Structure 1
Amino acid sequence: MEDWNHFLLPYQQAVDELKVKLRGMRKQFRDLNQHEPIEFVTGRVKPVDSIKEKMTRRKVQEDRLEQDMQDIAGLRIMCQFVEDIYQVVDLLRKRTDMTILEERDYISNEKPSGYRSYHIVIEYPVQMVGGEKKILAEIQVRTLAMNFWATIEHSLNYKYQGDFPENLSQRLQRAAEAAFSLDKEMSEIREEIQEAQSLFSYGKGPGNDEPDTTKEDQNS
């Protein structure tokens, strides 16, 4: 690859545009005084070193990079409840500004490690000065508890390169189950939580003198 900056430019544009659009979905729910299934949205373009490492590990040829590496552009949608994840997925299926190519439900079918998330691979058209360019991007939709576990596991993976000691692997699996148990418990009292949040957000609860601050501002 002679010029990585030039190659990655449309991916960065796609991430920037999609973050605005996905955050806009959250704002629409807020404006309608409805529960917001999207807690916050993050996005990134995979660093060049990570791309090269994955090309070597997955034996991806340079001339096949755009077709065979689906997560160079990555978006992450965080939700409060498991039910929110599937609502967000349904919303994405209805959009006409992207085409869903693949869905992988690692919530109903978690990985052996305990990893849970919902992955969607999309084809997204980016308008460049030379014309339209369609690129692949991956959207991960998960709860806050799932994201906490995945972030810790990802950090440990750098240390052990995926070859975890047996004891650590078992503890991570137990932690994953504990995180999912938390999600299930929160789902059981979801209506109570949403009612309380609605009262708090719209100034109907006692002592709510603070102005509302969006999660996007807090997590940008």
Structure 2
Amino acid sequence: MDIKKEYKSIIDDYSDFLHEFKQIVEKRLLKHKIPIAFGISGRIKTIDSILEKNSSERFVIKKTITELNDLIGLRIVLLFPEYKTKVVEILRTEFKSYNNPIISNLSPDKFGYSSIHLLLGIKDDWAKTPNWENHSLKRIEVQVRTLSEHIWAETSHSLFYKREENIPKIMSRELSKMSALLEVVDDKLQEIKNAVEEHFKYIAEAQYDEILKQDLNSETFRRIMLENSKGIYDLNEYRNKILSSRIEKDYNILNSDALHTLIFNKIDLSDNDAEIYIEKVFEILDEEKLRIDEQQKVK
């Protein structure tokens, strides 16, 4: 068996499979609004890595290098732990799954951190289409981890890969502390995310009088505009944030009641048009800004 010759003969085909597979995963995560830390990374195992793995007998190749489950791989790094299970469900629904993914739980004296490893391939009916007809038997390893898990995995791999048995116990304990700290980071980030979502839910559902006690931000701004326009205001989240930021920056309006007081019952709603309503709001704000500037000059 000539490993180098086989590697050279399949590399292009596996690169094509990796590229197509990665695109599908990216589209599915985007569709389900899964927040990732950075772009999904993909890689093909190098020939040197394959030769080393085989010679060290960590994996013995019997007939072909395609026996390696991690010959090609993807890595998905998530911002929050809650999405790990969701991502697994999405991928196992979309693709054929060859394993039952579990979160690895390593003992405190081992160098590692929990992550999920899936072994996936394309579904049988995909093989009937031109883009996938050559990829029916290929498998790909997909790692799913949080950003904190990624920091741990990459750091420990760089420092101690294949040298764990030579690390002093005191250093091992320090690494265990760091692993625990990173786990706390994950937990705290999830807690903060949950708290933020609860806050925005409160802003969306609270009585209007309660909104007027809040600082001005994109969510309280939306409530004020909706209330005073009687539902005419219908901007998307992106434009809403831009307008909210503009009002804070250009007009120095920092609390909800101040904005409400300026525009309450000041605008004719007969046009029933969101853009016209917004123009009239800014006309009022411009007049108020001019008035304040004139007062400052007099002083």
TM-score range, shorter chain: 0.7 to 0.9
Give the 3 Å change call, closer, same or farther, for CA 61–154 of structure 1 in structure 2: same
Secondary structure of the residue aligned to 1:103 is coil
Deviates more, 1:186-195 or 1:136-145: 186-195
Residue in structure 2 matched with residue 61 of structure 1 by the alignment = 61
Amino acid of the structure 2 residue aligned with 1:162: E
Give the CA deviation at 1:60. Answer: 1.0
Specify which structure has the higher proportion of strand: 1
2: distance between equivalents of 1:93 and 1:59? 26
Give the CA deviation at 1:87. Answer: 0.6
- Of 137, 142, 145, the residue aligned with 2:145 is 142
2: distance between equivalents of 1:189 and 1:132? 42
1: distance between equivalents of 2:42 and 2:116? 15
Give the CA deviation at 1:203. Answer: 4.7
Name the larger-Rg structure.
Answer: 2
Residue in structure 2 matched with residue 15 of structure 1 by the alignment = 18
Give the CA deviation at 1:168. Answer: 2.5
Amino acid of the structure 2 residue aligned with 1:80: L
Q: Does 2:51 match 1:52?
A: yes
Aligned 8 A contact 2:111 2:164 in 1: no
2: distance between equivalents of 1:204 and 1:129? 42
Give the CA deviation at 1:56. Answer: 2.0
Residue in structure 1 matched with residue 158 of structure 2 by the alignment = 155
2: distance between equivalents of 1:188 and 1:131? 45
Q: Which runs of 5+ in 2 are unaligned?
A: 201-217, 220-236, 247-299
Residue in structure 2 matched with residue 74 of structure 1 by the alignment = 73
Secondary structure of the residue aligned to 1:60 is coil
Give the CA deviation at 1:79. Answer: 0.9
2: distance between equivalents of 1:193 and 1:47? 43
Give the CA deviation at 1:104. Answer: 3.5
Deviates more, 1:18-27 or 1:56-65: 56-65
2: distance between equivalents of 1:143 and 1:59? 28
Secondary structure of the residue aligned to 1:134 is coil
Aligned 8 A contact 1:99 1:124 in 2: yes
2: distance between equivalents of 1:94 and 1:116? 23
Give the 3 Å change call, closer, same or farther, for CA 148–20 of structure 1 in structure 2: same
Give the CA deviation at 1:137. Answer: 1.0
Amino acid of the structure 2 residue aligned with 1:63: K
- Of 202, 207, 211, the residue aligned with 2:238 is 202
**RMSD of aligned alpha carbons:** 2.9
Q: Which runs of 5+ in 1 are unaligned?
A: 30-34, 209-220
Instruction: Give the alignment of 1:186-201 within 5 angstroms.
Output: 186-193=189-196
What are the superposed Cα offsets for residues 70-124 of structure 1, whole Å, 9 maximum, x if unpaired? 11111011111111011100111211xx3111133235x3454341111101134
Residue in structure 2 matched with residue 174 of structure 1 by the alignment = 177
Deviates more, 1:164-173 or 1:46-55: 164-173
Q: Does 2:108 match 1:105?
A: no
Give the 3 Å change call, closer, same or farther, for CA 193–70 of structure 1 in structure 2: farther
Aligned 8 A contact 2:72 2:140 in 1: yes
Aligned 8 A contact 1:37 1:88 in 2: no
The TM-score with structure 2 as length reference comes to 0.57
The TM-score with structure 1 as length reference comes to 0.76
Give the 3 Å change call, closer, same or farther, for CA 5–190 of structure 1 in structure 2: same
Amino acid of the structure 1 residue aligned with 2:60: V
Q: Does 2:117 match 1:119?
A: yes
